[in-house]
Structure formats: C-alpha cells, structure tokens
Amino acid sequence: MKNLKHRGKDKYMNPYVAGVLLGFVIMAAFFFSGEGLGGSGAFKDIVKTTVVSVAPDYAAHSHYFKSATELDHSPLKTWLAFEVLGILIGGILSGAYARRLNLRIEHSPKITSRKRIGFAILGGALFGMGSQLGRGCTSGAGLSGMAVMSVSGFLVVAAIFGTGYLLAWFFRKLWI
C-alpha cells in the first residue's frame, strides 16, 4: 500500500478499506457507548437547546420541546452531539492530512456555483426532513440498523440507495 504522505491531492481512501474501517467504528460505538452511529438526532438536540434558551416559556408549554426543559443536563451533552463534533474535527484533520483542505465548490461545468449550492441546501433539507419522518438517518437507521441485523436497517438502506439510483437520471445535469 502506498504511503499516505505521497498520495496526490485528490486521492481518496480505497472504498473497501474505508467500509471495513467504518464497520470497526460501528462496533466500537456499540462497545463503548452502547449506541450505534447517527447524526440527525444531534441536530434535533441543537434545535431543542436553542428554543429552550431563546423562548423558555414556549418550550415549557410545547409537547415537543417540553422534554428538553425537563432534563437534568443539556441535550448537547449526549453521545450524538459529541459524535457529530468528532465527525467535523475528523473530517478537517483528514482533509488537512491528505492536503485536500481548501474551500471550493465542485460542480458540473453546465451549472453555476450558486445553483449547486441551492440544490445542495434543498437536498440536505429534504434528507433532514426524511430522516425525522423515517426515525433516523442513513448512519443511524441504516448502518447501525444493519449492524444489529435489523430488517428495518436493510430496508432503509435499500430505499435510500434505490431512490437515489432511480432519481439520478433526472439530476444528472447537475454533475455531468
């Protein structure tokens, strides 16, 4: 295997090796925390904490936000919040180590950077809403669900990737 220090600027880890490493990360998460991976819940905790801080009266009378007001600790002191923080820090360190840490917007030459950002925000918002309606994101419902051999985990992954495959034709001009 080539030394990582001599890899080119746009080289990425072998996807098979990355998949095996992700499997070890999921096993370690279950071993050390008793929970799997997942990121969408952390963003929900950030919203709850913000609403409780900005509008405590509203939060106390809201069925959804009331659970956050009754905790003896901040919702941000949870496994998910620290996991997402670790993902951000790890991504920055990985990009810096591979000399890929720069700000750029990758897109097809057929569209503008502004259009690419707009579609990225729209896609992220739709995926975020879908993860809440589906009771979990790709990593939480899918990867962690499959790690414990849950039928729903396999169905989630099949639905996410199947839908992506079916819709890719309609959005191909954004990439090629």
pTM: 0.68
Who's near 74: CB < 8 A, 6+ residues apart? 49
Q: What is the mean pLDDT of residues 117-137?
A: 85
Q: What is the mean pLDDT of residues 40-47?
A: 80
Q: What is the mean pLDDT of residues 128-150?
A: 83
- How far apart, in whole angstroms, are the C-alpha atoms of residue 93 and residue 29? 20
- pLDDT for 114 beyond 80: yes
Q: What pLDDT, on the 0 to 100 scale, is given for residue 1?
A: 43
Percent of the chain, pLDDT > 90?
A: 12
Q: What is the mean pLDDT of residues 8-19?
A: 77
Who's near 153: CB < 8 A, 6+ residues apart? 141, 142, 143, 144, 145, 146, 147
Q: What is the DSSP letter of 53?
A: H
Q: What is the Rg, in whole angstroms, of the alpha carbon atoms belonging to the chain?
A: 19
Instruction: Yes or no: say if 113 and 16 are a contact pair by the CB < 8 Å rule.
Output: no
